[in-house]
């Protein structure tokens, strides 16, 4: 059987497609928080597994870049490994697990604990780009609501949450207003991570492959988590320090340790955890050496 | 280059090895070749080509074998390959009226010019498991093809059915179709875009949507004007030549559904069309597609939108099996972070309830001794959860 040799361009997508996506990205950067429709291409992983993020990464990455991929904050979760392996196979970039060494960070559901710096690009995998989707299923209608800046539906939902539960029952994908204009879904990052978007020195790009939308938060842009004057935004807080590295003020994974419901809390960000633990050990060793 | 090596990498490699081994099955049996899949599983090959949007039986067969028979995996493989292909133009619209039909049936007229032909169909087979060793039955000779004008064209001659296109004088009778794989999709879609979405749509989903229109959810009272299967020439006009050249033949299944229309103040009552076209032998798909196509034309025909099959956004957004299966199956991916966020909230709310109940029980007021009821004097913390519980 004759079979055409399957070859692919650097970073998989052909240059024409990369240009199409870059145009959408530029438009997204020009109108922060606005969802730009784009003709999302198939990539060699299933829809809903980060295909939007993969297309954005493929369009912005070059041979001088260093890529980090995290899923749920961790570099070693299987889908993060799979996407990192994909790019180390098809792209001529380096890969890393260190936040401070990466120039492009593709992420699913977390922003790293290590503060981002100028020149870094965050690429988010977005399942549902429309923050109003659970309140209005129709795309034609939600586009109209955005055009009119009519976000009353969301405020009513938050109000109802407060009336019913005493809290805003939105713990991840907590909607934000970008640059004082568009309501935006920050992808399902925990609301703990929302403040990291506000005036971040990094460029944040959001790719929703299945839903065919791209949007962006340029560096140093105002990103406000929506709330009420008399009922403020309340991100998660964890009372116990990380059981592995002792960090406080970071997002935690709960690890079940026995069958009695006992659990410990460890950093969700594995790179942060490893480096803090390593530096602790270094300090301990030096202290022991000094005291010996 | 530094690539972190962690547990996940070994797990993925092992999983791939096990998958390949499971797919191979018993090694004492010969492996299925893609050629066998192409020739002996032709209906499946048709489906994978149609939903994968590539006409290439060899590649589709290879995808099916690689996917271990998982049709949606095979479609995904085809799509992923297709997206890397350059696009050099649009062919001339295929002429299905002149296709030498291997199969052609009409439910509207008993005797039609060119006659009816059953062709390769499961329709009148008795669905009994057959003995695979039984020799193949011999087909008796059939008459030579004679021209088979479309049934809908016969109706058109009497102005009993809406005209095939509503392009005006001087307009291009064969405009370039839309392509939702290259252009962003925004609702409302053109009919051409919708047709492409339906052609790529999941056979099972469209079957269900089409079925719903027959069961009263937006009924269109359809008749099969004609279903035909056959090979058709594909022609392309290279800009440097300026005239059409044949670039190959494809097998297609076409369905023209004839549906009722009550008419309006401007237009007399007449029959309307629903159209379906699929690669290869895909009759179920083409028929379902034509039902759903007709249903989604409610606005153009001045009807009311009353049923799921009328709803373009609902149908188009959920018809694509590659998107649907990907997203449903992504629920397998870790969701530690979001789940943890929910845990924190639920624990917080439960703790508050317990605190309030503990604060309420020592009270001498019998109305609050049940532990449910507003007790706090601070209105900002007197949340509705109590109202919810006591209701």
**Domain-ending residue, one of A190, A225, A260:** A225
Interface predicted TM-score (ipTM): 0.84
Tell me: do A97 and A165 sit in the same domain. yes
Beta bridge partners of B274: B257
Residue A242 annotated as catalytic? yes
Residue A267 annotated as catalytic? yes
Residue pair B102/B148 in contact by the 8 Å Cβ criterion: no
A166/B381 touch (CB, cutoff 8 Å), yes or no: yes
Residue A283: give the domain boundaries: 252-291
Provide the shortest C-alpha distance from residue B318 to chain A (in Å): 11
Q: Is residue A161 part of a domain?
A: yes
Tell me: do A73 and A188 sit in the same domain. yes
Tell me: do A117 and A187 sit in the same domain. yes
Q: Is residue A235 part of a domain?
A: no
Residue A33 annotated as catalytic? yes
User: Structure tokens of B15?
Assistant: 């999983």
B384/A38 touch (CB, cutoff 8 Å), yes or no: no
Least-confidence region, from B69-78, B179-188, B321-330? B179-188
Report how far apart, in Å, the C-alpha atoms of A45 and of each of A41, A60, B55 are: 11, 19, 22
Give just the sign of the alpha carbon dihedral B119, B120, B122, B127: positive
Residue pair B309/B257 in contact by the 8 Å Cβ criterion: no
Tell me: do A207 and A258 sit in the same domain. no
Tell me: do A150 and A268 sit in the same domain. no
Residue pair A166/B385 in contact by the 8 Å Cβ criterion: yes
Helices assigned H by DSSP within chain A: 15-30, 51-60, 78-90, 139-147, 152-165, 194-197, 270-291
User: Structure tokens of B373?
Assistant: 């009821």
B354 touches chain A (CB under 8 A): no
> Cα(first)–Cα(last) distance of chain B, in Å?
63
Residue A192: left (phi > 0), alpha (psi -120 to 50), or beta? alpha
Q: Is residue A5 part of a domain?
A: no
Residue pair B360/B371 in contact by the 8 Å Cβ criterion: yes
**What's the pLDDT band for B62 if we cut at 50, 70, 90?**
very high
Tell me: do A204 and A271 sit in the same domain. no
Number of domains in chain A: 2
Helices assigned H by DSSP within chain B: 7-24, 34-40, 42-52, 57-66, 71-82, 151-157, 191-200, 203-214, 283-295, 312-319, 321-329, 336-360, 385-390
A46/B341 touch (CB, cutoff 8 Å), yes or no: no
Residues in A 8-37 with any Cβ partner in B closer than 8 A: 8-9, 14, 17, 36-37
Tell me: do A192 and A259 sit in the same domain. no
Local confidence pLDDT in tens for the 292 residues of chain A:
555 566 678 888 988 899 999 999 999 999 999 999 999 998 999 999 999 999 999 999 999 999 999 999 999 888 999 999 999 988 989 999 999 999 999 999 999 999 999 999 999 999 999 999 999 999 999 999 999 999 999 999 999 999 999 999 999 999 999 999 999 999 999 999 999 999 999 999 999 999 999 999 999 999 999 999 999 999 998 989 999 999 999 999 998 888 888 899 999 999 999 999 999 888 777 777 777 6
Tell me: do A216 and A141 sit in the same domain. yes
Tell me: do A266 and A201 sit in the same domain. no
In sequence order, the 6+-apart residues with CB closer than 8 A to the CB of B346 are: none
Nearest CA in chain A to B381: A166
Q: Is residue A8 part of a domain?
A: no
Tell me: do A127 and A269 sit in the same domain. no
Tell me: do A71 and A147 sit in the same domain. yes
Q: What is the pTM of this model?
A: 0.85
User: Which CATH number fits the domain that encloses residue A186?
Assistant: 3.40.50.11310
Cβ contacts of A80 on chain B, cutoff 8 Å: 8
Tell me: do A135 and A267 sit in the same domain. no
Mutation target vs B (from A13, A47, A269; most B CBs, 10 A cutoff): A47
Q: Is residue A212 part of a domain?
A: yes
**C-alpha A88, offset from chain centre:** 20
B380 touches chain A (CB under 8 A): yes
A128 touches chain B (CB under 8 A): no
Residue pair A236/B341 in contact by the 8 Å Cβ criterion: yes
Dist. CA A113–CA A111, nearest whole Å = 7
């Amino acid at each position: 059987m004759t079979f055409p040799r399957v070859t692919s361009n650097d970073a998989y997508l052909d240059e024409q497609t990369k240009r199409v996506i870059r145009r959408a990205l530029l438009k997204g950067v020009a109108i922060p928080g606005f969802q730009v429709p784009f003709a999302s291409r198939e990539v060699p992983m299933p829809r809903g597994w980060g295909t939007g993020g993969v297309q954005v990464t493929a369009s912005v990455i070059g041979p001088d870049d260093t890529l980090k991929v995290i899923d749920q904050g961790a570099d070693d979760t299987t889908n993060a490994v799979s996407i990192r392996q994909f790019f180390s196979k098809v792209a001529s970039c380096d890969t890393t697990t260190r936040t401070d060494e990466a120039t492009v960070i593709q992420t699913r559901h977390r922003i790293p604990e290590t503060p981002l710096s100028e020149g870094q690009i965050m690429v988010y995998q977005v399942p549902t780009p429309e923050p109003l989707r659970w309140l209005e299923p129709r795309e034609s209608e939600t586009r109209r609501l955005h055009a009119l800046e009519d976000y009353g539906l969301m405020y009513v939902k938050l109000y109802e949450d407060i009336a019913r539960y005493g809290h805003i029952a939105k713990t991840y994908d907590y909607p934000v207003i970008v640059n004082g204009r568009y309501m935006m879904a920050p992808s399902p990052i925990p609301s703990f991570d929302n403040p990291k978007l506000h005036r971040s020195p990094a460029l944040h790009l959001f790719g929703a492959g299945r839903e065919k939308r791209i949007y962006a938060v340029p560096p140093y842009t105002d990103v406000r988590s929506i709330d009420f004057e008399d009922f403020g935004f309340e991100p998660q807080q964890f009372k116990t320090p990380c059981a592995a590295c002792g960090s406080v003020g970071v997002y935690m994974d709960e690890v079940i340790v026995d069958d009695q419901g006992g659990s410990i809390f460890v950093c969700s960000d594995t790179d942060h955890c490893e480096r803090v633990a390593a530096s602790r050990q270094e300090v301990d060793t030096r202290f022991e050496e000094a005291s010996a | 280059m530094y690539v972190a090596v962690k547990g996940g990498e070994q797990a993925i490699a092992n999983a791939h090895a096990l998958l390949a081994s499971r797919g191979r099955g018993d090694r004492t049996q010969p492996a299925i070749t893609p050629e066998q899949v192409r020739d002996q599983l032709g209906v499946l090959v048709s489906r994978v080509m149609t939903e994968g949007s590539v006409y290439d039986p060899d590649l589709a067969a290879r995808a099916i074998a690689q996917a271990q028979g998982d049709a949606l995996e095979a479609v995904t493989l085809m799509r992923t390959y297709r997206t890397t292909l350059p696009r050099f133009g649009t062919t001339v619209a295929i002429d299905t009226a002149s296709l030498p039909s291997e199969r052609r049936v009409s439910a509207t007229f008993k005797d039609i010019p060119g006659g009816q032909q059953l062709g390769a169909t499961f329709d009148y087979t008795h669905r009994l498991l057959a003995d695979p060793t039984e020799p193949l039955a011999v087909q008796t000779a059939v008459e030579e093809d004679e021209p088979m004008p479309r049934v809908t064209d016969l109706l058109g001659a009497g102005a009993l059915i809406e005209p095939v296109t509503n392009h005006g004088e001087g307009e291009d009778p064969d405009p370039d179709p839309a392509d939702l794989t290259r252009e962003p999709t925004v609702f409302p879609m053109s009919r051409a875009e919708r047709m492409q979405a339906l052609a790529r749509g999941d056979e099972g989903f469209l079957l269900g949507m089409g079925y719903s229109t027959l069961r009263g959810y937006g009924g269109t009272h359809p008749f099969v004007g004609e279903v035909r299967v056959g090979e058709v020439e594909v022609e392309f006009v290279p800009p440097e030549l300026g005239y059409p050249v044949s670039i190959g033949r494809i097998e297609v299944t076409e369905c023209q559904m004839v549906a009722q229309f009550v008419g309006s103040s401007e237009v007399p009552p007449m029959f309307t069309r629903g159209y379906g076209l699929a690669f290869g032998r895909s009759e179920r798909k083409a028929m379902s597609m034509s039902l759903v196509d007709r249903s989604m034309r409610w606005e153009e025909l001045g009807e009311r939108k009353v049923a799921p099959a009328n709803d373009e956004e609902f149908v188009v957004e959920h018809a694509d099996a590659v998107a649907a299966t990907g997203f449903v199956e992504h629920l397998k991916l870790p969701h530690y972070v979001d789940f943890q966020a929910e845990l924190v909230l639920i624990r917080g709310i439960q703790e508050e309830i317990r605190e309030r109940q503990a604060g309420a029980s020592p009270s001498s007021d019998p109305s609050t001794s049940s532990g449910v009821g507003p007790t706090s004097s601070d209105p900002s913390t007197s949340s509705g959860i109590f109202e919810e519980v006591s209701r």
